[in-house]
Structure 1
Amino acid sequence: MSTFIAAFVVLLLFFVLMSIGYFIKHKAVEGSCGGLGALGIEKACDCDDPCDKRKRRMAAEEERREKLAKDRII
C-alpha cells in the first residue's frame, strides 16, 4: 500500500509542477517529435477519397469559414 501512495504522490507532484509551469509560461504542453507534420501528413485523415462523415465535417467547416468571412467587420 505504501508503494501505491508513494507513486500517487510522485504523480501528483508532477501534475502540480506542470500546472505551475503552464501558469507561468502560458504555454501548453506539447510533444517534441513534430507529430503528423514531421511525416508529411497534412491531416489525420490523409485519404484521397474521404468517407461521408469526413465530407460532411469538411463541408460544415467550409460553410462556417464562409459565414465568418461574410460577417467580418474588418
Structure 2
Amino acid sequence: MGLFLVVFAFFLLVVLAMSVGFIMQKKSISGSCGGISNLGMEKACDCDEPCDDKKARMAKEEEWQKNRIH
C-alpha cells in the first residue's frame, strides 16, 4: 500500500508540473496537426451540398431551437 501511495504521489507531481508548464506557455490546446482551422476549413464537412443524414440533423436542431423555451 505504501508503494502505491508513493507512485500515486509521483504521478500527481508529474501532472501538476506539466499543467503548470502548459499554463506558463499561454498557448491554447490544439490537436497534433493544429486542427481543421489550420486547413482553412470552418466546418467539419466542407461539402457544397450536405448529405441526407446531415440535412435531417440540421432540421432537427433547427426545430429544437425554434421550440425551446427562452
TM-score (norm 1): 0.48
Match of residue 17, structure 1, among 2, 15, 18: 15
Q: Which runs of 5+ in 1 are unaligned?
A: 1-8
Give structure 1 regions of 4+ aligned residues with deviation exceeding 3 angstroms.
none
Cross-structure match for 1:49: 49
Specify the alignment match of 1:6 in structure 2.
Answer: none
The sequence identity of aligned pairs, in percent, is 48
Greater Rg over alpha carbons, structure:
2
What is the aligned length?
51
What are structure 2's unaligned runs of at least 5 residues? 1-6
SS of the equivalent of 2:38 reads helix
Render the CA deviation track for 1:32-73: whole Å, top value 9, x for unaligned.
6541122221211110111111110111111122122xx20x
Deviation string, structure 1 residues 10-48 (Cα, Å, up to 9, x no partner): xxx48x717xx4xxx8xxx93165411222212111101
Who is 2:35 aligned against? 35
- TM-score normalised per structure 2: 0.50
Within a 5 Å distance, the mapping from 1:60-71 to structure 2 comes to 60-68=60-68, 71=69
Letter in 2 for 1:31: S
